[in-house]
Amino acid sequence: MIASMTGFARREAASPFGSLVCELRSVNHRFLDVTVRLPDSCRALEPELRAMLARALRRGKVDCTLMLRGADPAASSLEIDSAALERLLARLRMVAAALGPAESASHTAAPAADSSAPTAAPAPGALPAQLDLIELLRFPGVLRQEAVDPEQLLAAVRALFAQTLAELTEARTREGERLGALIRQRCAALGELISTVRAHLPEAHARLRQRFEERLAELTVATDPGRLEQEILLLLQRSDIAEELDRLDGHLAETARTLSADEPAGRRLDFLMQEFNREANTLSSKSVDLATTRSAVEMKVLIEQMREQVQNIE
């Protein structure tokens, strides 16, 4: 099954911990190169997420980003520890009683504009009137927030990541099917060119023999017919491209088999493209007529198009 190394997937889910967003981006790469960005509360999951990616993907540069956005205020509650608050107030009363009325009065509100009016001193042991409630709630242990269960958060992240990874795999598979169809089209066109060149081969050999005899006739010298046939045979042997055509047919068959196999095919296809190009170059160098040279050029164009597509296959 052909799969591309290029893909994108994004999933978002609401949870009691806030809005979870997972993004996976994948591009082509020689190996599997994974970058994971997680919030601090989910750092413990990084090895597990990397292992999940390694089981699902073989090659590609993959960027994984997981974001945990603001929690839902209704999902968490703030509670006051009554016992802790009562203990704090008792200590404050003790401090107020120890300071006495004069010292306690100095910690109360500023006097009114009419300074001649008498100021009532607080009763012994009473709390100061200017007690800051916000500072009181900030005292450690007085105000507590419902703790988030880390296991529930990690379980939610695992589920969301698995869904996003499945979506990425499907996207890479769809792109791989498109690439496979393009490669098959080029292979069909390449096969037609090979058949054309093979059918033209006897005519090319005949023209080569004719040109050789015409050149020889221009010399107006006596020749040995046996030696002449040997030279013509050597010339035809050096320009014979039947072996290259057979190899190209074999590479086409192997490419078709690779495209139909249920395994990652990128590396094998990349090797086959190199072999295609090698045979096309040899065929071009052995060409003895313009038609064969043109076919060889068209072959190399098709091979280069396939090579570009293969670079994105897993």
pLDDT at 78: 61
Mean pLDDT in the chain? Answer: 80
pLDDT at 91: 78
pLDDT at 241: 78
User: Do 105 and 229 reside in the same domain of the chain?
Assistant: no
Select the more confidently predicted residue: 32 or 92.
32
When mean pLDDT is compared across 48-52, 116-120, 263-267, the lowest value belongs to 116-120
Select the more confidently predicted residue: 214 or 21.
21
pLDDT in tens, 130-162: 566 667 666 676 666 555 567 888 899 999 999
Q: What is the C-alpha to C-alpha distance for residues 282 and 250, in angstroms, rounded to an integer?
A: 16
Residue given tokens 């790469």 in the structure block: 29
Q: CB neighbours of 206 closer than 8 A, spacing ≥ 6?
A: none
pLDDT at 80: 74
User: Do 89 and 128 reside in the same domain of the chain?
Assistant: yes
287: amino acid identity, one letter = S
Q: What is the C-alpha to C-alpha distance for residues 62 and 27, in angstroms, rounded to an integer?
A: 7
pLDDT tier at 204, thresholds 50, 70, 90: confident
User: Do 109 and 201 reside in the same domain of the chain?
Assistant: no
Select the more confidently predicted residue: 228 or 247.
247
pLDDT at 237: 61
Domain range spanning residue 297?
Answer: 174-310
User: Do 213 and 293 reside in the same domain of the chain?
Assistant: yes
> What would the two tokens of residue 140 be?
């450690």
Q: What is the C-alpha to C-alpha distance for residues 246 and 221, in angstroms, rounded to an integer?
A: 40
Domain containing 294 — which CATH number? 1.20.140
2 located within any domain: no
Q: Is 203 in a helix, a strand, or coil?
A: helix
Among residues 136, 130, 135, 134, the alpha carbon closest in space to that of 105 is found at 130
Q: Are 125 and 68 in contact (CB under 8 A)?
A: no
35 located within any domain: yes
210 located within any domain: yes
User: Do 233 and 187 reside in the same domain of the chain?
Assistant: yes
**Over 90: is that where the pLDDT of 271 sits?**
yes
pLDDT at 255: 94
**Over 80: is that where the pLDDT of 13 sits?**
yes
pLDDT at 73: 44
For the chain, the residue count is 314
User: Do 190 and 301 reside in the same domain of the chain?
Assistant: yes
1 located within any domain: no
User: Do 140 and 47 reside in the same domain of the chain?
Assistant: no
23 located within any domain: yes
Q: Quote the pTM value.
A: 0.67
pLDDT at 87: 79
124 located within any domain: yes
User: Do 279 and 216 reside in the same domain of the chain?
Assistant: yes
Average pLDDT over residues 277-283: 91
68 located within any domain: yes
Query: Which of 218-227, 249-258, 286-295 has the highest average model confidence (pLDDT)?
Result: 249-258
What is the number of structural domains in the chain? 3
Domain containing 35 — which CATH number? 3.30.230.10
User: Do 300 and 165 reside in the same domain of the chain?
Assistant: no
pLDDT tier at 21, thresholds 50, 70, 90: very high
167 located within any domain: yes
Rg (CA), the chain: 41
Residue given tokens 């603001």 in the structure block: 70
Among residues 66, 286, 249, the alpha carbon closest in space to that of 158 is found at 66
Where residue 251 falls (left for φ over 0; alpha for ψ -120 to 50; beta otherwise) is: alpha
pLDDT in tens, 45-92: 999 999 999 999 999 999 999 998 865 444 455 677 777 778 777 877
Q: What is the C-alpha to C-alpha distance for residues 144 and 137, in angstroms, rounded to an integer?
A: 9
Among residues 252, 269, 256, the alpha carbon closest in space to that of 59 is found at 269
User: Do 58 and 154 reside in the same domain of the chain?
Assistant: yes
User: Do 213 and 303 reside in the same domain of the chain?
Assistant: yes
User: Do 162 and 181 reside in the same domain of the chain?
Assistant: no
